């Protein structure tokens, strides 16, 4: 077990399902599709994926603690397969999935790992099918004010608990998915804390077609 795996087991063990499900709007229907949910955590995004009536969902994480909680929370869904896996070496054949959902996973990696992860995700997608990406963007208030030990790479924080967190630019995201046929990138910002409008959360999203 490597350092990040141990850190996330502790994080999920301590916080667990206090992370509430996300209300998401995806750019197209997943109905009947074979979907990969990358870095499922405790199912924050998975709950929204399942509302789209997918055919099957393969949801993986490298945290045993996260998967334990997911299996309990989603035990009523017979079309979901949970498995322990690493995005850097996925246990799926080439061209298996219709959709890959990659939300808030790549920010926990260094640049070389992010590139390897994207190559693996592209490999397991069918030709002409889609990867959906979302993550933190440069300028997010947590980048500036977050507690850190060091910055091993630009816009990458190593936090006190040992967690890595990278913040993306739109240009960087386009470059990260440059081997896809088409990539549409967009940014979003909001002020989630009442009476603290200066604390802005920034995210960047992409729709990448293989």
SS (H, E, C) 150-172: EEEECCEEECCCCCEEECECHHH
Extents of the domains making up the chain: 3-135+167-209
Q: Which residues contact 168 (CB under 8 A, 6 or more apart)?
A: 107, 135, 136, 137, 138, 155, 176, 204
Give the pTM: 0.89
Percent of the chain with pLDDT over 90: 66
pLDDT, residue 55, reads 98
**1 pLDDT more than 50:** no
Residues 85-113 have a mean pLDDT of 96
What digits encode the pLDDT tens for the residues 152-204?
A: 999 999 877 778 899 999 999 999 999 999 999 999 998 877 887 888 999 99
What digits encode the pLDDT tens for the residues 108-154?
A: 999 999 999 999 999 999 999 999 999 999 999 988 876 677 889 99
CATH architecture of 3-135+167-209: 3-Layer(aba) Sandwich (3.40)
């Amino acid at each position: 077990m490597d350092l990040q795996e141990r850190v996330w087991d502790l994080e999920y063990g301590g916080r667990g399902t206090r992370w509430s499900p996300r209300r998401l709007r995806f750019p197209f229907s997943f109905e009947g599709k074979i979907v990969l949910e990358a870095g499922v955590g405790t199912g924050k995004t998975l709950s929204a994926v399942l509302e789209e009536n997918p055919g099957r969902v393969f949801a993986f994480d490298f945290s045993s603690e996260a998967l334990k909680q997911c299996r309990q929370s989603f035990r009523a869904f017979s079309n979901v397969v949970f498995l322990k896996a690493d995005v850097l070496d996925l246990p799926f054949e080439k061209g298996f999935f219709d959709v890959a959902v990659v939300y808030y996973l790549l920010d926990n990696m260094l640049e070389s790992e992010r590139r390897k992860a994207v190559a693996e995700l592209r490999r397991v997608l069918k030709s002409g099918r889609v990867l959906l990406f979302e993550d933190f963007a440069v300028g997010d208030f947590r980048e500036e004010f977050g507690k850190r030990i060091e910055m091993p790479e630009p816009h990458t924080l190593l936090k006190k608990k040992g967690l890595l967190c990278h913040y993306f630019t739109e240009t960087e995201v386009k470059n990260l998915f440059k081997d896809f046929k088409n990539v549409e990138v967009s940014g979003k910002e909001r002020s989630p804390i009442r009476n603290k409008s200066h604390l802005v959360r920034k995210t960047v999203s992409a729709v990448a077609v293989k």
